[in-house]
Amino acid sequence: MKKHNFSAGPCILPKEVLKKASEAVINFNGLDLSLIEISHRSADFVAVMEHAKDLVLELLDLKDKGYSALFLQGGASLEFLMVPYNLLPENGKATYIDTGTWSSKAIKEAKLLGNVEVIASSKESNYSYIPKNYEIPSDATYVHCTSNNTIFGTQMKEFPKTDKLLVCDMSSDIFSRQLDFSQFDLIYAGAQKNMGPAGTTLVVIKDEILGKTGRKIPSMLDYQVHISKESMFNTPPVFPVYVSMLTLEWLKSLGGIAGIEKVNEAKANLLYAEIDSNPLFQGVANKEDRSFMNVTFTLTDDSKKEQFDSMWKAVGISGINGHRSVGGYRASIYNAMPIESVQVLVDVMKAL
Identified catalytic residue from 98, 169, 173, 185: 169
- Residue 218 CB partners (closer than 8 Å, separation 6+): 85
Identified catalytic residue from 193, 222, 289, 312: 193
Q: What is the edge-to-edge ordering of all strands in the sheet holding 294-299?
A: 281-283, 294-299, 329-332
| φ, ψ of residue 48 in degrees (nearest 5) | -65, -50
- Residue 49 CB partners (closer than 8 Å, separation 6+): 71, 230, 231, 232, 236, 241
Identified catalytic residue from 53, 102, 164, 206: 102
Residue 169 known to be catalytic: yes
Residue type for position 345: L
236 DSSP β-pair partners: none
Rounded Cα distance, 235 and 61, in Å:
28
| φ, ψ of residue 283 in degrees (nearest 5) | -75, 160
In terms of Cα–Cα distance, which of 229, 238, 197 is closest to 44? 238
Rounded Cα distance, 269 and 343, in Å:
11
Q: How buried is residue 279: exposed, middle or buried, by Cβ count under 10 Å (0-12/13-18/19+)?
A: exposed
Residue 102 known to be catalytic: yes
Active site residues: 102, 169, 193
